[in-house]
Structure 1
Amino acid sequence: MSASIPTVFIDGEAGTTGLQMRDRLARNPAVALRSLPDADRKNPEAKRALMAEVDLVVMCLPDDAARETAAMADSLGDRAPKLLDASTAHRQHPDWVYGLPELTPEQATAIAGARRVAVPGCYPTGAILLLRPLVDAGLIPADFPISVNAVSGYSGGGKAMIAAYEARTAPDFELYGLSLSHKHVPELHRYSGLTRRPIFVPSVADYAQGMIDSIPLHLDLLPGSPSPADLQAVLAARYAGQPFVRVIDAPASGKIEPEAQNGTNNIDLMVFGHPTQRQAVLVARYDNLGKGASGAAAQCLGLMLGIAVETSLPGARVKVAA
């Protein structure tokens, strides 16, 4: 392994997440990217040999392939690289650290000291960052019934969905996961601090990227009947000083669009509320390919290797519109 500049292999660099990860790392002089020649992409021995030479492997793979790569790393013994998994495969595995640095005050330190980190799913990221501080503070009881509604751009659905939307054969808007068994629910359930399984209703719309999670609340059913300002104050205190999490005032228009953080690793958290009807909606806005995928992975990679890493895409500019 490298004794100076850390070396990184992106396993699955040709996929959507892998390409965005590569774009974030390619300009960074503090890290050296390694790749397999095209002829060796499906050669397990060539991959195993490369893994033994690098400091960290980013796995941008389907779940089964990620498990295979992790097992291959195990076979390397003391030559095994650190692993950063962007799939669903290891997010609840006891030997892997959950890669959401803002989850608790101690989580970034845990990631920095870990050899195996699982990057959060796109949808759970926003909902967990909204819910966990409020559950920890007792404003939302752990057994409170929670529903999370979410919409994503079609880039979060993989190559087949991207092709369908770009060919104009997909619907303009579609609810899915209505079997109530979406693969992100166990992760959302565990890391939000909830003891009651939340209802999760995802959707996809005809735009490329950008995500909104929204969580409606009846405030008079919560302990102490908190105000929207009380909820926002807890969120603001929890994330004070965090570079990628912004707790901002909800726009007076009562509207929100999903693309304002595209290309960045930023996430906006807001509390919409009605003072007399005693209702609120918690909202998170971020890039499903940024804080929801490659940006989050780059943030974790920097912690794991102890280096500064660019978490946004080249030329990304945050919009100021609501």
Structure 2
Amino acid sequence: MAIVTDRQYRQALTASVAKRSKIVQDIVHKSTPLTKILKDSGRIKTKRAGGPELRIPIQFDKLSAQWFTGYDKIEITPKELLNSAVFNWSRVVSMFSLNGTELMYNTGEEEVIDLMDFYIAEAEKSIKEEWESALVGDGTGSGGRQMIGLGGAVPIVTNTGTYGGIDRANVPNWRTTYYDVTAGDVSGFTAWDSTTARPIMETVALARSRNSMYPDLWVMDANSYAPVSASMVAHQRITTQRAANLGFESLGVWTPAGLVDVVAAGGIGNVMPANTIFALNTAGLAIYEFPGQSFVPFHPGDGIRPINQDAWAQGIVWSGQFVVENPLHQVRIKTA
């Protein structure tokens, strides 16, 4: 049986992590309908590093046009159309290590590879779960180091606080929309059930649409999803072509604004807020990744050995940010 030397182990460890970096990208980016759609539509982007901050040009106002005749005065008041939304880069890492005793008892090449595969697989699982949790979080986790997810990007209170360094109180076009069904925010309705779910969806989708832009992906917790499913007879439960192509389960619902995908967020470890819907315009969302930081080995070279421990450490790291670029068509709904 060939004995794996210390140097061979370090090289094999780093090679194994690097080889699976692409696999981890796919595991994470294809783990939810939202990230699948963003990946398929080219909305997961590598942003050239321009310093410690991520800056995204944002248009939050538009020019006006006016009818005139003769000597009418033409309105020429200047408007600031563009500004930069500024975000910090968020970083997440899943570390693992193997100590000298483990390596001593697994000295054969196959044994070492099996051991590494186990730890790498656990690192992949850990970083996937942490990333998915952050996707619906508000960015306050881990002392504000967490990625700003839907909880912060599409908040309950829409006219206060800053997002991307822009004050929502001062810039109305930088606000998303929030509806509390039970409080009557959707005119004519005070309950979300199998008879009201569809008309509420139609009302909201149309209200938050402009031209071809509207909330096209509705992510619902289990409590909110059940009435939508119950409102349809069996032959109405169809999936959209987009969902079929990307391989996720959804209900296709026609609204006056257009066809939408309805997906349920649930299962073991689910972190979706209860009685909540995120109705999202996927064309107005993006995930920006720092160059060379998309689920890659954390330590360069052959990993790292602590100076005071008999072990070798390596990890998988991601650096980036989730960004709402167009808040106008992004909606959060409380259903109970």
Please say whether Structure 1 and Structure 2 have the same fold, judged by a TM-score greater than 0.5: no
Q: Which has the higher strand share?
A: 2
Relative to the length of structure 2, the TM-score reads 0.28
- Higher relative contact order (CA closer than 8 Å, sequence separation 6+): 2
